[in-house]
Amino acid sequence: MPKFDQMLEEQKTNNVLWTPSKVIARLVKEINDESSYLYWAYKNDIPVFCPGLTDGSLGDMLYMRSFGNGGGLVVGVVPDIRAINGEAVHASPRKTGMIILGGGLPKHHICNANLMRNGADYAVFINTAQEFDGSDSGACPDEAVSWGKIGDSAKSVKIRATSTGSRSHESSRSITTNAEEEWDLVSTSEELKTMKGN
């Protein structure tokens, strides 16, 4: 990818320390697609954090550029973890909330950032994972409360649905638009367990 070659040159000549969020911002800037939410995040100087940037095709391209040229292209994660955790820690007196579509590494990354501030004030988990397999994806909000990732008095819910299906998008839009009504309707993972088919 020529953009990575250009980034390597900037690293060598300008001592640029690339982070996953800077890589994303650069790629989004170059793609310049107004129909993308990433474009609007870039345009408004909102960082997009991706703890799994090295997974998949982008990781393969980064690997290929890690040879030669004085050590190759380097992407450091520490500034990004400081930035996302700092966002959570310094949010006070404002509240934090999480709407997490899916699970795994991104879910854990966002929840851990909120652990640094004694838990999020609101949480919505939308995924199909189950608790019995012991995965982070399957964990319900009450598990995150036990770790301090969600505050003791927080309003949280897990919606068992695919994150790509229209139902979950409608649910998350409804929850964020009519938060108080939704939270009163389905406020805990225990209540969700009793709502078969929803």
Q: Which residues are catalytic?
A: 149
Residue holding tokens 């980064």? 62
CA 182 to chain centre: 23
Residues β-bridged to residue 122: 97, 155
- Pick from 55, 159, 49: nearest CA to 99: 159
3-class secondary structure, 126: strand
Strands (E), the chain: 97-101, 120-127, 150-160
CA–CA separation, 179 and 181 (whole Å): 6
CA–CA separation, 185 and 159 (whole Å): 12
- Pick from 10, 9, 13, 44: nearest CA to 29: 44
CA–CA separation, 46 and 40 (whole Å): 8
